[in-house]
Amino acid sequence: MNLNIKKAKKACLLLRAERIGITLYFWGVALLTLFFLFHFFFLFVLGGVFIGAYAGWKIYRGEYEEGPIIRHLDLEERYRIFSMCDTLRFPYPWVYVVIGDCSNVFVSVEKGKPTIYLGEKILRLFSDEELMPVIAHELSHVKNHDHFFSLFLVLGASLGRISLSILFLLVFFVSFFVGLPFGILFLLLASVLVFWITSAKLLDYWNFIGQEKLADAGAVLSVGAMDGIISGLERILKEENMTEEGKSILFERISFLKELGEESE
């Protein structure tokens, strides 16, 4: 299947705009709520933000208390991966192999450098044509600054939840000690809280799908072909331990990639 470069670049622009919109929504609601609580709970909310930021910073630096069992690449694997990076014109990342029957791949930025955790099963079964788009996909996440966007979005969502929870408790106590008329306001704010929690989960999932599609588009633009990445995703789709949610995400990504190949010139 041929790649329509114009359509892929357009998809990248739309996905970036979508991601910015989701992030602005989280922070807009969070800051709007915080505006009303700022004078009452400044120290409490600010302390929660600093605690969340510190925890996010530890994750960003790779300071995990627990994690998968990993090993370094051997010489043959190192040559194979770094040759692909040379072809893609990407700087060499740190690469670790997750030991065991693992068919997952993920990337982080640890101490300022891209770090790829590659499932041993993928490294063993994938051909070079299938593995190169995987490397390009993960490095596209770094190029798109997805780790910063995810951290920024999580902090905004957490700030909104903290602020709304405080407001929820404040209105409850005010309605209890002041009078029943505040019960209506109590119910309205309760519905806002439920809507926030529901929409936050949906938009977080939407943002995750958008990041994966954006990285897929970046990968096919770097490699110049899409057959390898579609073949690799279809291979992962056949895994016996794949969850229904995981299958749904893979189906959506495969459909997105196939759309990029239609009506190619």
What is the DSSP track for 63-113? --SS---EEE--HHHHHHHHHHHHHHT-PPPEEEEEPSS---EEEEEETTE
Q: Which residues of the chain have pLDDT under 70?
A: 1, 26, 29-68, 156-157, 159-201, 240, 262-265
Q: What pLDDT score was predicted for residue 265?
A: 43
CB 157 within 8 A of CB 52: no
Q: What is the mean pLDDT of the chain?
A: 76
β-pairing verdict for 113-119 and 94-98: parallel
CA 24 from centroid of its chain's CA atoms? 16
Q: What pLDDT score was predicted for residue 181?
A: 62
Q: What pLDDT score was predicted for residue 149?
A: 79
Q: What pLDDT score was predicted for residue 205?
A: 79
Q: What pLDDT score was predicted for residue 37?
A: 57
Helix or strand or coil: residue 150? helix
Helix or strand or coil: residue 240? coil
Q: Tell me how far CA of residue 246 lies from CA of 97, 238, 239, 242, in angstroms.
A: 21, 11, 10, 6
Helix or strand or coil: residue 264? coil
- Over residues 237-265, the pLDDT tens digits come to 887 677 888 888 889 988 988 888 754 44
Any bridge partners for residue 117, and if so which? 96, 106
CB 158 within 8 A of CB 52: yes
Any bridge partners for residue 118, and if so which? 97, 105
Helix or strand or coil: residue 118? strand
